[in-house]
Chains A and B, each alone.
Chain A
């Protein structure tokens, strides 16, 4: 089996930037990724990426992809890493489609939406239950919907829905909503929004499509008839496929200032790491750092 110099896992801002840097160093490498653009492709308006006073997420993701494609980088799309192991000097990367060997690896697999973990969630995904209010929100015009969560992303989803849906329930498991004050006020003053604090979802119910949720409010069961459920309870790092690395309590891969992980030859960059801020521009910068570190490692070994 061919042994690559480098395999980059993920093609969001961090992975793509790492790939561009690796291409310019002319090393033998491969990108394996489920999608292209990562969370950037899901972002709305971006006004803080230097050089672009205004750009949308999909546009910026497209620019990233074009930049990567310019170098004819081999990209294995729709391919998810399922296991990464280091045996001796070689790192084995197993995906849902193939197996590869490499001298170095950069993990730039980002984050994904956290799931509720309740009965009905999986069955009704895309059957009324969604993790992307921006995408699917408009389909729920004049319907009754529930937003699960109480942070900024939940409030953002609720505000989008208040304008188009009939009734919007906000199911928040703490004493009061978090998030920005301005957004909270808007929600509290909307006629069609109802906030359920100290509440959590126990089950998602329906036939072919969602028709209700069961909630526990202060431990008391209640059923809310809704046609839409928007899950906005935060993000978790895609770091499960690599067991032996040191991670923090949130599951983020621990890195040092050179993007080195606890295993020599394995580097990490972007939102999957414990880097303090999660921003597109930071992920991109971290990707370039990780790529240069991998290059130095290859030179030394």
Chain B
């Protein structure tokens, strides 16, 4: 079964756009949270990752900060 993927991002951040592009190219379905407008999700992201930089990915509980292609591939088994 496909892993549950969440992306915490802001609408303006270039790496967020790239990370989402990357996921789409690999046919990964994900939930997209705009932490710039959703304060609850912003708090959730800070709590989960212990930091405030975007993007943050939550792949079935594994937290990845930034567009770290290698880590993302590994977590998704790509």
Residue numbers of A with Cβ under 8 A of B are 37, 41-44, 56-58, 61-62, 77-78, 126-128, 130, 132, 134-139, 141, 164, 208-209
Contact = CB atoms under 8 A, between A and B. Distances in A.
A128 to B, nearest CB: 6
B18 A41 contact: yes
Contacts of B37: 138
A141 to B, nearest CB: 7
Contacts of A139: 10, 35-36, 42, 52, 54
Given A58-B17, A137-B10, A208 B69 contact: no
Contacts of A44: 12
Contacts, number: 72
A61 B42 CA distance: 27
B53 A136 contact: yes
A18 B67 CA distance: 24
24 contacts: A41-B18, A44-B12, A58-B14, A58-B18, A61-B18, A62-B18, A62-B21, A77-B70, A78-B69, A78-B70, A126-B51, A126-B53, A127-B50, A134-B14, A135-B54, A136-B53, A136-B54, A137-B10, A139-B10, A139-B52, A139-B54, A141-B36, A164-B36, A209-B52
B39 interface: yes
Interface bin, chain B: 20 to 34
B14 A136 contact: no
B14 A42 contact: yes
A45 to B, nearest CB: 11
